[in-house]
A and B are shown apart, each in its own frame.
Chain A
């Protein structure tokens, strides 16, 4: 069964460093998303991406964040100058038309 794949599963980084979270969406999907979930809180939308550009972003998704689809299969989230409050689970999702399918997440820990 097709699935969304995320790497790494866990990333520890020092405050102020840059991290890149990687995702391989389901192959025939056209819509891609990043969400995050801070421990004990709800899943929050960050950004959606369609046709090689951002289609929508939340207030959380400020200049510290960027997304890219560098080739036909990968979708990345870059977080520059990480802060302690960026520690969370980051989920990539993809959609063909309606339902979004999520990856298993990357646990980002900023120390």
Chain B
């Protein structure tokens, strides 16, 4: 069965303290790995798509990387406004475009 596991469940950082969030996946035929940001009571907001091992994408303080087994979301010098839950999702297999989500990492950045 396709599975997505995110760690840690929660992360508290001081403003400016860089860190990484992990998303490991066990799927048959990965077609894409997606990172979303979700604020409380809101819908997931698209951040990145990664398609193949070795690929990297960057946006402001965020950088996503992908290997054959996992993806990392690196947060450089975070600010309080980066506080949110970060969701990882995969699309896998033929004839399907559904997203399989992990449980997310809840990030809190303190000033």
Distance between Cα atoms of A95 and B97 in the complex (Å) = 10
Interface centre among A31, A41, A99, A104 (most CB of B within 10 A): A99
Q: A42-B104, A43-B87, A105-B42 are in contact. Are A31 and B97 (CB under 8 A)?
A: yes
- A98 interface residue (CB < 8 Å to B): yes
The one of A56, A91, A95 that contacts B43, using a Cβ cutoff of 8 Å: A91
Q: In angstroms, how far is the closest chain A Cβ from the Cβ of B97?
A: 6
**Which A residues lie within 8 Å of B95 (CB)?**
56
Tell me if B97 and A42 are in contact (CB < 8 A). Answer: no
Q: A45-B100, A58-B98 are in contact. Are A102 and B44 (CB under 8 A)?
A: yes
Chain B interface size, as a band, is: 20 to 34
- A101 interface residue (CB < 8 Å to B): yes
Tell me if A42 and B98 are in contact (CB < 8 A). Answer: no
From B38, which residue of chain A is reached at the shortest CB distance? Answer: A43
**Which B residues lie within 8 Å of A33 (CB)?**
98
Tell me if A102 and B43 are in contact (CB < 8 A). Answer: yes
Distance between Cα atoms of A103 and B45 in the complex (Å) = 9
- A48 interface residue (CB < 8 Å to B): yes
**Which A residues lie within 8 Å of B100 (CB)?**
45
**Which A residues lie within 8 Å of B96 (CB)?**
56
Q: A56-B96, A98-B32, A99-B34 are in contact. Are A43 and B46 (CB under 8 A)?
A: no
Q: In angstroms, how far is the closest chain B Cβ from the Cβ of A60?
A: 12
Q: What would 25 A/B residue contacts be, using CB atoms closer than 8 Å? A: A42-B103, A43-B44, A43-B87, A43-B101, A45-B99, A48-B98, A55-B97, A56-B97, A58-B98, A91-B43, A95-B97, A98-B32, A98-B49, A99-B46, A99-B49, A100-B34, A100-B99, A102-B36, A102-B45, A102-B46, A103-B43, A104-B42, A104-B43, A105-B42, A105-B43
Chain A contacts to B: CB under 8 angstroms: 4, 6, 31, 33, 35, 41-45, 48, 55-56, 58, 89, 91, 95, 98-105, 107
Seed contacts A35-B99, A99-B46; 4 additional CB < 8 Å A-B pairs: A56-B98, A91-B43, A99-B34, A100-B46
